[in-house]
Amino acid sequence: MSAHEVNFDGMVGPTHNYGGLARGNLASQRNVHAPSNPRAAAKQGLRKMKLLHDLGVPQAVLPPQDRPAVDVLRALGFEGTDHEVVRRAGKESPALLSACASASSMWAANAATICPSADSRDGKVHLTPANLRSHFHRQIEVPATSRLLRRIFADPETFVHHAPLPPAEPFGDEGAANHSRLCLEYAEPGTQLFVYGRHALRSGAPGPSRHPARQTLEASQAVARLHGVSNTRLAFAQQQPAAIDAGVFHSDVIAVGNKNVFFFHEDAFIDSGRVGEELRSKSDFDLHLIEVASKDVPIEDAVASYLFNSQLVSLSSGQMALIVPAECQDSARVWSYLQALQESDPFIRRVEVIDVRQSMENGGGPACLRLRVVLATEELERIHGPVLFDEDLFGKLDDWVGRHYRDRLEESDLVDPSLLDESRAALDELTGILALGALYDFQH
């Protein structure tokens, strides 16, 4: 049996803007109120998918959500037609409208945690949408994400969909951004690492002091239980609280794994050395650990460049490529580290630079934009095929973005009801391109 890792990228929506909405996310805070360019953002996302596709890595798309979220604004008491709801919210509470207009579903690493069939007790693929309870603008993604995943992974014989964890304080869950799976071959059982920021139910346990720890141990344990992962192949690790305070709001900002390679910063976890040893002891294959020392890449440089938010992917040659954000080139220290890595590492033989600056300015790098789904060949045949990315789809989506997206957006534009109309016209056409039927409520 063979299996593939498919990257499902969240497409950037037409309302992409800088709302300064994410606490502990330094880029989001820094760029609050800067004008955004949704068209450039969406095209950067598509070019990243094209790069992966050209490298021979299976790629798929997840369409954006309908924003501003008129249904949410209505639930909060704004009345009238859809246009009136947007106008009233903008007048009474621009902050609320901003949260309801975020295009944050583009960061698909936070959409869900996925367990490949090789790792689960019942031999099925398990999916648990993240509840994203730490931030309101992200929590409102959850119903549409759940619906979309059920639409794409529809076959009940193959896919098991769990409900998101209860959106209560002890169960903050941010999905695959805090989860890594290591293995020798994708089709073989792997070792799963769940990373959390704090214990919710144990008082006195260490945690960050400045920024929120979004993922709890209790949430990670629940997801692992739901997915039926064997304890012998399961590890939990706590993020270094100081790293969260330095801007590492998700574990994928400081560590990335693929197959038998785990690339992480020495300050990623509380006792990173022990975490590496535990992963080694739980893996029945030779695990290659690349622990990056602070003296080579200080944590501030890791956060500024998003070195670890790279995508580590396997090429058909058997070697791996690291897809790094362009910001890595802006840092002399990080760039020289990467040159040395590429020359000396037995697995990572190639570094590719990708410009996703529009997303980066909201704290989302290459790895944030994708949800990894390991699928056996026959499981891949059972997904909704039209979301799979190829040259033809790239052409269609690139043209679609060019026709529908604005090239400049400021907070004051969110209140303009024509933005809602333009966005819906775009999404309506997109469901045709992706053969998704009436995916959005406004289409009913």
Query: Which positions are catalytic?
Result: 174, 250, 368
Indicate whether 18 belongs to the interface with ligand SUG (CB under 6 A). Answer: yes
Of 118-126, 154-162, 245-253, 391-399, the segment contacting ligand SUG by CB under 6 A is 245-253
| Number of helices and strands in the chain (H, E) | 17, 15
Q: Which is nearer to ligand SUG, 24 or 241 (CB)?
A: 24
Total residues in contact with ligand SUG, by rule CB under 6 A = 22
Q: How far is the CB of 370 from ligand SUG (least distance, A)?
A: 9
Instruction: Please say whether the beta carbons of 163 and 131 come within 8 A.
Output: no
Q: Given candidates 11, 12, 22, 130, which one binds ligand SUG under the rule CB under 6 A?
A: 22
Site for ligand SUG in 361-380 (CB under 6 A): 362-364, 368
Instruction: Tell which residue, 383, 381, 387, 379, has the closest CA to residue 117.
Output: 379
Indicate whether 303 belongs to the interface with ligand SUG (CB under 6 A). Answer: no
Q: How far is the CB of 102 from ligand SUG (least distance, A)?
A: 5
Site for ligand SUG in 136-155 (CB under 6 A): 138
Of 16-24, 113-121, 183-191, 327-335, the segment contacting ligand SUG by CB under 6 A is 16-24
- Considering all CA atoms of the chain, what is the largest pairwise distance in Å, rounded to the nearest integer? 63
- Report d(CA 365, CA 362) in Å as an integer: 9
Q: Which is nearer to ligand SUG, 18 or 171 (CB)?
A: 18
Taking the CA atoms of residue 385, residue 387, residue 393 and residue 397 in that order, the dihedral angle to the nearest 10 degrees is 160
Instruction: Please say whether the beta carbons of 25 and 113 come within 8 A.
Output: no
Q: Given candidates 252, 267, 361, 379, which one binds ligand SUG under the rule CB under 6 A?
A: 252
Q: Which is nearer to ligand SUG, 3 or 415 (CB)?
A: 415
- Report d(CA 301, CA 297) in Å as an integer: 6
3-state SS class at 361: coil
Q: How far is the CB of 399 from ligand SUG (least distance, A)?
A: 27
The conformation of residue 211, written as its DSSP 8-state character, comes to: S
For the chain, the 3-state helix, strand and coil shares in percent, each to the nearest 5, are 40, 20, 40
Instruction: Tell which residue, 302, 301, 299, 315, has the closest CA to residue 242.
Output: 299
Q: Given candidates 7, 15, 37, 110, which one binds ligand SUG under the rule CB under 6 A?
A: 110
Indicate whether 177 belongs to the interface with ligand SUG (CB under 6 A). Answer: yes
Of 13-21, 47-55, 63-71, 336-344, the segment contacting ligand SUG by CB under 6 A is 13-21
- Report d(CA 359, CA 352) in Å as an integer: 18
Interface residue list for ligand SUG (CB under 6 A):
18-22, 25, 28, 102, 104, 107, 109-110, 138, 177, 249-250, 252-253, 362-364, 368
